[in-house]
Amino acid sequence: MDNTSAQNLWSLMLTTLEAEVSAITFDVWIKTLEAWELDEGKLVLLAPSEKSRDFVLQRYHTLISSVMKKHNHLLQELEVLDPSSLEKQQPKTKVAVESVSTAKSLNFEPVLLNSKYNFDSFVVGKSNQLVYATARAIAEDPGKRYNPLFIYGGVGLGKTHIMHAIGNAIRKNTDYSKVLYVSSEKFTNEFIEGIRQGSQTSNSFREKYRTVDVLMVDDVQFFAHKDGTQEEFFHTFNDLYSTGRQIVLTSDRPPKEIGGLADRLQSRFECGMIADIQSPDLETRIAILQKKAQTENQNLPLEVISFMAERINNNIREMEGLFNKVVLLSLLENKAPTIDIVKTALKDYEEKTAESVSMEDIIDRTCVYYNMDKGDVLGKQKTKEIVETRQMCMYLITELLSVPLATIGTVFGGRDHTTVMHARNKVADKLKDNQRLKLQVQDIKDLLFKA
């Protein structure tokens, strides 16, 4: 069994996979997989739960296998396991499972730290300079200043990149050996698994998270409404904070706007440094693409890079995905990248690049879709149909536009920002497992961007 080689290969594969799937798919299903072993032409990955394993096998096995073979043509088989299936394997694997239940080997190796995500590859602009400066200070002196660091911002703006950069720099510049990066979902799943398996596993879980030098947790907004997980994380936070160990957290919104978060946990999140990453301006987007072209040894004319940067303006991950597609199409056509090739590649992004959408547009299209009177939706009526339409309007506005919650509340009859927060979170929660609602959201976006 070769665990180190598996980790190195998986780190490279993650970089490729991130450009192949949506941000939500990557964060929820792909990034939460761990490299387990390379064994006789087979890569073995470990999913956090049986449900996650089954979903990955059903939806993404072919994609992951393809990426695996691109990075190592000698590998022919991909296997995805979960903790329960590991227990049923041969004694050789069981020993490996037991070894990672101790504090010394529970993911302290940088399984999920991507070496490409470092400070040198992070392009700094007005939208992220505060986060960058704070992150560099933390990497130089962990636990002393800006503890905890709470980073928030929209999807694809570089939150995960800067977390990896902090972790990589700390491991390189200090003698801290226990730097742990984890998604909020993985933390929750491990906590639940600890409860399911009994006190010994629960103790191992606590030892794992409370003996680290640096703990970095991605997307803590998903702790919302999970009372048991919040209780456990509260005590973990206190243990680390009281002994001067560094904590870094990310979210898509500031702590006070995370509905369903316990007051005492919110106060912990707010007791250090809170910094936001905003959408990058045009100059920064051009610099990001130039940096990517340089890193990947691709020669793209400035006019082509500028054209791409102008078309996708609020998601770095999507912009880099567009870059990858342009390069691929250029290779297939055996010619240098041109604006025409960019236009071809942009077909998948057209619905996301409209710059003229306003709050009024969103309200109008949503009311048309649900056949509701706009005055009723903006007013005080509280019938089920009107409330649901109103909540959908609020959700779409918060997702598509950078508008303060208080401003949105004012438009909807002078409502408080907490009402907007509640509406947004309620729709977001329903979208997790309501396929019909997901289709409705997409239909309304089509009305907005393809009209």
Domain end point (choices 277, 303, 331): 277
Dist CA 284 CA 126 (whole Å): 8
Report if residue 118 sits inside a domain.
no
Query: pTM of the predicted model, to two decimals?
Result: 0.56
Average pLDDT of the residues in 295-319 = 85
Question: pLDDT per residue over 102-124, tens digit each?
Answer: 333 344 343 457 777 889 889 89
Residues 60 and 182 in one domain: no
Report the Cα 153 to chain-centroid distance in Å.
Answer: 11
Question: pLDDT per residue over 391-442, tens digit each?
Answer: 999 999 988 887 788 889 999 988 988 899 999 999 988 888 787 788 888 8
> What range does the domain containing 435 cover?
359-449
Beta strands 214-218 and 34-38 are unpaired
Residue 86 neighbours by CB distance under 10 Å: 16
Decide: 170 and 215 in contact? Cβ < 8 Å: no
Question: pLDDT per residue over 196-228, tens digit each?
Answer: 777 666 788 888 899 899 999 998 988 988 888
- At 237, which helix (H) or strand (E)? helix 227-242
Residues 334 and 424 in one domain: no
Number of domains composing the chain: 4
Dist CA 21 CA 31 (whole Å): 11
Dist CA 161 CA 387 (whole Å): 38
CATH of the domain at 336: 1.10.8.60
Question: pLDDT per residue over 356-402, tens digit each?
Answer: 678 998 999 899 888 888 999 999 888 999 999 999 999 999 888 87
Domain end point (choices 82, 99, 116): 99
Residues 303 and 262 in one domain: no
The 3-class SS string of 415-447 reads CCHHHHHHHHHHHHHHHCCCHHHHHHHHHHHHH
pLDDT at 130: 94
Report if residue 189 sits inside a domain.
yes
Residue 20 carries which side chain, given as an amino acid letter?
Answer: E
Is 72 buried (19+), middle (13-18) or exposed (0-12) by CB count in 10 A? middle
Q: Which residue has the higher pLDDT, 234 or 439?
A: 234
CATH of the domain at 64: 3.30.300.180
Q: What is the DSSP letter of 20?
A: T
Residue 166 has pLDDT above 80, yes or no: yes
CATH of the domain at 402: 1.10.1750.10
Residues 85 and 48 in one domain: yes
When mean pLDDT is compared across 31-40, 85-94, 185-194, the lowest value belongs to 85-94
Mean pLDDT score of the chain? 83
**Four-CA torsion 67, 69, 70, 73, nearest 10 degrees:** 170
CATH of the domain at 273: 3.40.50.300
Residues 50 and 28 in one domain: yes
Average pLDDT of the residues in 121-135 = 92
Residues 156 and 62 in one domain: no
Residues 288 and 315 in one domain: yes
The string of DSSP letters for 40-82 reads: SSEEEEE-SSHHHHHHHHHHTHHHHHHHHHHH-TT--EEEEE-
pLDDT at 355: 53
Sign of CA dihedral 65, 110, 31, 276: negative
Residues 366 and 315 in one domain: no
Residues 209 and 300 in one domain: no
Report if residue 123 sits inside a domain.
no
- Single out the residue of 142, 139, 159 nearest to residue 150, CA to CA: 159
**Residue 396: helix, strand or coil by DSSP?**
helix
Residues 64 and 93 in one domain: yes
- Residue 129 banded pLDDT, cuts 50, 70, 90: very high
Decide: 15 and 116 in contact? Cβ < 8 Å: yes
Tokens 């056949």 locate to 371
Report if residue 120 sits inside a domain.
no
Report if residue 226 sits inside a domain.
yes
Q: Which two tokens stand for residue 43?
A: 């890569």
